[in-house]
A and B are shown apart, each in its own frame.
Chain A
């Protein structure tokens, strides 16, 4: 399934793996997020400032991690409507450390035209830092 996009509910199989992608968790990205969107504080934009708060380094804002997960779904199904997305922040997503975004289809409701997707952000050690679920609506045609 990797690399392919889908447009209709009939294209989706239970257990399908969404193409994973490596989000931009660089300090430049969180600073850009801070300038244009918000969360422009040292905790997110400055490693030294974050360490002064007792963190191991700057962390990616939770709302940005949630945005990564939504982006992954749209990369897989560009016309999908994400009707619900729920994310649990289990551990900090550290800035300037590689993370992987993954998703797998765990329910397909062809009548409703919706799929449920498990979504996770994991670090390079494979530890889940953010997890959740999303419901996306796809075309029934």
Chain B
């Protein structure tokens, strides 16, 4: 992110939390689940929809559906508003296959602000780094959450 606006209290949050791992969870990838995801989303390529296909794999966006044990560090302050999903990002690095055992480690990747009607909107970008059993980094899944409340100073 280029030269984002950051208020002082948010700067403090960035210093304290950015890059600090706060969650680790293991997923066993269910091929039926991602095939169903693919079909509902309109995928037609058999490598995503047909378990019998020799290159059967999850659509890259499927990793966005992998939810960790927690979305925020346990000691992250309550900003006072309800979080809304503002966006998703995926960096795909290698195929995710049925039966794969993935480890997802999460950290806050970015914190920045914009204005809203009732105060600031605080954007939190949580990144889950996903690795397979051999330690191969298969994907990053980013979730951008916006909290429409002013941070108490």
Contact = CB atoms under 8 A, between A and B. Distances in A.
Nearest to B90: A85
Chain A contact-residue range equals 20 to 34
Contacts of A81: 60, 92
Contacts of B41: 23, 64, 67-68, 70-71
Interface in B47-105: 48, 59-62, 64-65, 67, 85-93
B87 A62 contact: yes
Interface residues of B, number: 30
Interface stretch (B7-15, B20-28, B32-40, B130-138): B32-40
A75 interface: yes
A41 B20 CA distance: 31
A23 B38 CA distance: 12
Contacts of B85: 62, 89
B101 to A, nearest CB: 19
Interface stretch (A7-15, A28-36, A104-112): A28-36
A75 B87 contact: no
Nearest to A31: B40
Contacts of A86: 87-90, 142
Given A62-B87, A70-B59, A37 B44 contact: no
A132 interface: yes
Interface of A: 21, 23-24, 29, 32-33, 36-38, 62-64, 66-72, 74-75, 78, 81-89, 132
